[in-house]
Amino acid sequence: MIEASADLISVPPNPYDLFRSWYDEALADERIEMADAIALATCNSLGVLSNRMVLMKSYDEQGVVFATNYASRKGQDLKQNPQAALLWWWPVLGRQVRMEGAVDRVSESESDQLFNDRPLASRVAACLSKQSSVIKDREQLLQEHRKLLQKGAPTRPNDWGGFRLRPFAIEFWLSRPSRMHDRWHYRQTGQQWQITRLSP
């Protein structure tokens, strides 16, 4: 792991300012292939945890947006328990960001835009795939995908759309020598963010 060389003495009062700075640096770094990749952790009504990688579609001070099939395991988890955690990990920068918060579906129009922004083959896959369900034959699935591609651009299926995580807690982790890392924890209290420094 590369230890970060930046010497951040203080952090801004708004965590989104720091996130924007770190994310923009990750996007600009040619060593990082997918700066928008995040680990999404969910938990169902029985307390069973699940984790997977997804792509961040957008973010602002209202939260972080990602998309999926509503019938998938993560979609069902979020229906039963609309809380989740996100993790960005940029090892070449020696940085990670964690967010925890409530999750809700974005508007229909926003989901339509998310769907239409995808490449055609990905839109077709979203229509075809019953995500997380058992399939008997991958080749048959691929054949169906090729057939649907020939029919042109599909409309967004009802079981696919976006979610927005609205964080109430955000933590920034910065690698330091000798594992004496820096950690800043933001917790939302009303309209303000309370900032604390955590032990490595």
Catalytic residue annotation: 179
Q: What is the C-alpha separation between 180 and 177, in angstroms, rounded? A: 6
**Are the C-beta atoms of residues 105 and 163 closer than 8 Å to each other?**
yes
- Cβ proximity of 12 and 18 under 8 Å: yes
Residues in the chain: 200
DSSP H helices in the chain: 15-28, 73-80, 108-116, 120-128, 138-150
